[in-house]
Amino acid sequence: MLLEGKTGVVFGVANKRSLAWAIARRAADEGARIALTYQGERLEENARELAASLNNPLVLPCDVTKDEDIAAVFAKIKDEFGGLDFVVHGVAYALREELEGEYLKTTREGYRIAQDISVYSLTAIAREAAPLMDGRNASVLTLTYLGGERVIPGYNVMGIAKAALDMSVRYLAENLGPRGIRVNALSAGPVKTLASAGIGGFSKILEHMRNRAPLHRNIDQSEVADAALFLLSNMSRGVTGEILHVDCGYNIMGM
């Protein structure tokens, strides 16, 4: 039980296919007590239904664009858990119309929304979490994607957001390292999730990566969850500021 006696919070659980949920379930299976957050009434039912399969989790509302919501989440966690050993940031969003056509046509508002929700939220969450994680060999983990390193047609403004997220990981790792808090990112290959449904031509991306990756297949949620377990547990106690690719090796390919 790699996370026996540990406590953690997972942001971004949307439904049973989401990577955040796969990670939350894996962490709970390894002994962690979990808090889950949901954004808005539309996702509350899903979050509570999924939480019912875990061991007495906290289920809390949180709109990550509101600092007061984030602060309220960590105030409740402090009351219930006392301290915190890991945070999983699985939040990302862009307007659907920004994922169509050319990146050149990105609107100012579309850019702002993608950066606020997908990138700045990590910093806002880490700032509130840090006092609960001081000196606990704690871990902050976010989910990124290769579209922040290379051009993925149709990913558009989310690619720019993921690039900023990757750099945020490095700056936060430097800031929080002296407090015994590690910050890393997990870059998963394409997986069918609610988020991926908004990307044009996603089935072609799956086919291309399956054909080009060294392992000649796509990944599944369980492989992402297993890698996340490594980054959340003491097994990765010497690792911070890193991006771990879980994509069957696709990221190493030039052609």
Contact 46, 38 (CB under 8 A): yes
DSSP state of 153: T
Burial class (CB in 10 A: 0-12, 13-18, 19+), 49: exposed
Nearest of 151, 176, 152, 167 to residue 87 by alpha carbon: 176
Nearest of 126, 97, 96, 94 to residue 111 by alpha carbon: 94
CA 112 to chain centre: 19
Contact 23, 224 (CB under 8 A): yes
Contact 13, 60 (CB under 8 A): no
Which member of 111, 145, 171, 250 is catalytic?
A: 145
Which member of 38, 93, 111, 155 is catalytic?
A: 155
Please report the DSSP string for 158-223 in residue order. HHHHHHHHHHHHHHHHHHHGGGTEEEEEEEE-----TTGGGSTTHHHHHHHHHHHSTTSS---HHH
Q: Kindly give the interhelix angle for 108-115 and 157-176, rounded to the nearest 10 degrees.
A: 40
Sign of CA dihedral 5, 67, 15, 95: negative
Does the active-site annotation cover 155? Answer: yes
Does the active-site annotation cover 145? Answer: yes
* Residues taking part in catalysis: 145, 155
